[in-house]
Structure 1
Amino acid sequence: MEKKIGFLSFGHWRDAAGSQTRSAADSLLQTIELAEAAEELGVDGAYVRVHHFERQLAAPFPLLAAIGARTRRIEIGTGVIDMRYENPLYMAEEAAAADLIGGGRLQLGVSRGSPETALDGAANFGYVPAEGSTVADLAREKTTIFLDAISGKAMARTDPARTGISGGLAVQPQSPGLRERIWWGAGTRQTATWAAGLGLNLQSSTLLSEDTGVPFDQLQAEQIQLYRDAWKEAGHDREPRVSVSRSVLPITEDIDRLYFGNQENEDQVGLLEGVRSRFGRTYAGEPDRIAEELANDAAVRAADSILFTVPNQLGVAYNARILETIVKHIAPAIGWAPKFRNPVSLR
Structure 2
Amino acid sequence: MSPSSKPLRRLGFLTIGLFDGADPRPGHENTLKLIELGEQLGFDSAWVRHRHLQYGISSPIAVLAAASQRTSRIELGTAVIPLGWENPLRLAEDLATVDLLSGGRLNPGVSVGPPMHADRVLPALYPDTAEAEDFSFERVRRLLSFVRGEPATDFSGSEGFEVYSDRVQPHSPGLSGRMWYGSGSLRSARWAGENGMNLLLSSVVKVEEPAGGSGESGGTAEGTSSGTEGSFDFAAIQLSHIRAFRAHHPDGERARVSQGLVVIPTDTATTAQREKYEAFARQRTPRTATPQGPARLLFARDIVGTSEQIAERLHADPAFREVDEVAFALPFTFEHEDYVQILTDMATRLGPALGWRPGG
- Do they superpose with TM above 0.5? yes
Match of 1:112 in 2: 112
1:1-347 → structure 2 map (5 Å cutoff):
1=6, 2-14=8-20, 23-112=23-112, 116=116, 119-122=119-122, 124-126=124-126, 138-158=135-155, 162=159, 169-210=166-207, 211-212=225-226, 213-231=231-249, 235-236=250-251, 239-251=254-266, 252-262=269-279, 263-264=281-282, 267-272=288-293, 274-311=294-331, 313-340=333-360
Shift of 1:198: 0.5
Contact 1:82 1:112 in 2 (8 A): yes
Shift of 1:117: 5.1
Contact 1:30 1:315 in 2 (8 A): no
Q: Aligned letter for 1:324?
A: T
Give, in whole Å, the separation in 1 of the partners of 2:43 and 2:158. Answer: 53
**Corresponding residue SS for 1:203:** strand
Shift of 1:301: 1.6
Instruction: Provide, for residues 279-329 of structure 1, a one-character-per-residue CA deviation record: whole Å limited to 9, x for no partner.
Output: 111111233212211221222221222111123654444312211111222
Segments of 5+ residues of structure 2 without an aligned counterpart are 1-5, 208-224
Shift of 1:76: 0.1
Q: Structure 1 residues 159, 193: CA separation in 2 closer, same or farther (over 3 Å shift)? A: closer
**Alignment RMSD:** 2.8
Of 60-69 and 331-340, the range deviating more from structure 2: 331-340
Instruction: Provide, for residues 30-65 of structure 1, a one-character-per-residue CA deviation record: whole Å limited to 9, x for no partner.
Output: 111100001100111110010111111111111111
Give, in whole Å, the separation in 2 of the partners of 1:226 and 1:314. Answer: 35
Of 70-79 and 147-156, the range deviating more from structure 2: 147-156
Contact 2:13 2:46 in 1 (8 A): yes
Segments of 5+ residues of structure 1 without an aligned counterpart are 16-21, 341-347
**Corresponding residue SS for 1:289:** helix
TM-score by length of 2: 0.82
Contact 1:83 1:139 in 2 (8 A): no
Identity of aligned residues (%): 31
Give, in whole Å, the separation in 2 of the partners of 1:301 and 1:63. Answer: 32
Q: Structure 1 residues 205, 314: CA separation in 2 closer, same or farther (over 3 Å shift)? A: closer
**Corresponding residue SS for 1:157:** coil
The count of aligned residue pairs is 326
Contact 2:114 2:135 in 1 (8 A): no
TM-score by length of 1: 0.85
Of 309-318 and 41-50, the range deviating more from structure 2: 309-318
Shift of 1:249: 1.7
Contact 1:64 1:98 in 2 (8 A): yes
